[in-house]
């Protein structure tokens, strides 16, 4: 696991993602990127989907990236990574690259570039078994284009295309379970994480990059503009998502589910919903519906965790908490 110090500076003493970028105050994305890249000790190439991260870090002729970085389009990040990964194998085989230099291929995409328009390319790359890490910074809507609803937008959330009004009450559908979709590809490593739990995220990245195959990390990431919360509240809000069990932290290794963080007690979902303007219109009945859904999802997750248990002795989970 990366130490706090190395989360700021990587081993060469240089930040992989430098300051001076144009991401918003309180945006959770740079924290996720830095935790991921600072954990990886190998040379790394980043493949970035179109989105907030890409737009705000590479306005030509400036760049905030201190690692090789490639952006092609919105929906094809995993396909581009497939080509980079295959090229590395081919070049090593014909000795055009040093055999001992193993460059990690890491994708960053938002939920639009993962759950929606990016899913076909991601599914193909997962199925083909390329050795790469795909990190979804999931802030639950199309934030870069002005907060439109995505497949990751949760039930009840108001966005600019699922508005609350006289008859509308936000998104009427449940979010897509992208983590489960990734698991269904039988890849070696899939996990859900959250930027506020840096130690948990960092440990997951370590496991992910060690895999001999694809790894997928779904990381809940705040967006003060889209969620409508005070920037300074970002860490607590993300913690509320985890402690309320709205966003459980778990990993699926070779198909076996395991909680990596177990909240000591269930915090009510109000702690997650109330600080966010996108949920301000919710009636008690709708909140109750969300509460019941979270309970049902949690029970289902625990059942998967239970049925994944083996006789091998190992820790039940990596962290037990109760931050709120």
Partner 1 sequence: MSLRLLTGGEAVAHAMRQIDPDVVPAYPITPQTPIIQGYAKFVADGLAHGELIDVESEHSAMSAAIGAALAGARTMTATSSQGLALMTEVVYLAASLRAPIVMAVGNRALSGPINIHCDHSDAMLVRDSGCIQLFAENAQQAYDLMLIAPRVAEHHDVLLPVLVCLDGFTITHSAEAIELLRDDVVRRFVGEYVLPHSVLDAHSPVSRGPFAMPDTYFEFRVQQAQALERSLAVFQHVAAEFYEVTQRRYAPVEAYRCDDAERIVAVLGSTAGTIKDVVDELREEGERVGLVEITTFRPFPHAALAVAIDGADELIVLDRADSPGGTPPLRAEIAGSLYGSDVRLSGHVYGLGGRDFHPEDARQLFAREREGAAWLV
Residues binding partner 1 (CB under 8 A): 43-45, 47, 54-55, 58-61, 63, 65-73, 75-76, 79-91, 93-94, 96-97, 103, 120-121, 123-125, 127-128
Measured from the CB atom, the residue of 102 and 230 that comes closer to partner 1 is 102
φ and ψ at residue 213, rounded to 5 degrees: 160, -170
Measured from the CB atom, the residue of 128 and 323 that comes closer to partner 1 is 128
Cα separations in angstroms, 250 against 113, 200, 203, 230, 298: 22, 9, 12, 28, 11
**Which tokens hold the place of 253?**
């290794």
Q: Is the peptide bond before 61 cis (omega within 30 degrees of 0)?
A: yes
Measured from the CB atom, the residue of 41 and 160 that comes closer to partner 1 is 41
Kindly state the smallest distance separating residue 66's Cβ from partner 1, in Å. Answer: 6
Give the whole-angstrom CA distance, residue 8 versus residue 94.
Answer: 37
Kindly state the smallest distance separating residue 61's Cβ from partner 1, in Å. Answer: 7
Kindly state the smallest distance separating residue 205's Cβ from partner 1, in Å. Answer: 17
Give the whole-angstrom CA distance, residue 218 versus residue 237.
Answer: 17
Kindly state the smallest distance separating residue 145's Cβ from partner 1, in Å. Answer: 14
Kindly state the smallest distance separating residue 101's Cβ from partner 1, in Å. Answer: 8
Measured from the CB atom, the residue of 124 and 213 that comes closer to partner 1 is 124
Measured from the CB atom, the residue of 104 and 193 that comes closer to partner 1 is 104
Give the whole-angstrom CA distance, residue 311 versus residue 289.
Answer: 37
Angle, to 10 degrees, between the axis of helix 77-93 and the axis of helix 119-128? 30
Measured from the CB atom, the residue of 43 and 231 that comes closer to partner 1 is 43
DSSP assigned state of 137: E
Measured from the CB atom, the residue of 3 and 93 that comes closer to partner 1 is 93
**Which tokens hold the place of 313?**
């002795």
Q: Which of 124, 127, 134, 150 is nearest to 278 (CA)?
A: 150
Residues contacting 114, CB < 8 A, separation 6+? 49, 122, 134, 136, 138, 152, 178, 218
**Which tokens hold the place of 240?**
């509320």
Kindly state the smallest distance separating residue 146's Cβ from partner 1, in Å. Answer: 17
Kindly state the smallest distance separating residue 175's Cβ from partner 1, in Å. Answer: 24
- Whats the size of the chain, residue-wise? 324
């Amino acid at each position: 696991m990366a130490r706090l110090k190395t989360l700021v500076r990587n081993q060469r003493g240089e930040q992989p993602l430098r300051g001076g970028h144009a991401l918003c105050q309180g945006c959770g994305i740079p924290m996720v990127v830095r935790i991921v890249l600072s954990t990886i000790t190998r040379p790394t190439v980043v493949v970035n989907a179109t989105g907030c991260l890409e737009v705000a870090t590479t306005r030509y002729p400036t760049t905030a990236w201190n690692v090789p970085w490639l952006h092609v389009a919105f929906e094809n990040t995993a396909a581009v990574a497939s080509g980079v990964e295959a090229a590395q194998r081919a070049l090593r085989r014909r000795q055009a690259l040093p055999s001992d230099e193993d460059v990690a291929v890491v994708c960053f995409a938002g939920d639009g570039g993962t759950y929606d328009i990016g899913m076909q390319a991601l599914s193909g790359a997962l199925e083909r078994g390329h050795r790469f890490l795909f990190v979804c910074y999931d802030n639950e809507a199309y934030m870069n284009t002005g907060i439109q609803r995505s497949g990751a937008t949760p039930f009840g959330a108001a966005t600019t295309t699922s508005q609350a009004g006289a008859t509308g009450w936000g998104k009427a559908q449940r979010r897509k379970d992208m983590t489960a979709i990734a698991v269904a590809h039988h890849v070696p490593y899939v996990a859900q994480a959250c930027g506020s739990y840096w130690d948990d995220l960092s440990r997951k990245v370590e496991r992910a990059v060690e895999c001999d195959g694809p790894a997928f990390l779904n990381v809940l990431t705040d967006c003060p503009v889209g969620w409508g919360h005070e920037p300074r509240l970002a860490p607590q809000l993300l913690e509320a998502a985890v402690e309320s069990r709205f966003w459980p932290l778990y990993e699926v290794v070779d198909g076996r589910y395991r909680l990596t963080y177990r909240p000591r007690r269930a915090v009510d979902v109000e702690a997650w919903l109330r600080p966010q303007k996108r949920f301000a219109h919710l009636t008690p009945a709708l909140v109750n519906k969300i509460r019941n859904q979270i309970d049902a999802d949690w029970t289902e997750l625990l059942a998967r965790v239970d049925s994944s248990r083996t006789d091998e002795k190992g820790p039940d989970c990596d962290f037990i908490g109760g931050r709120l």
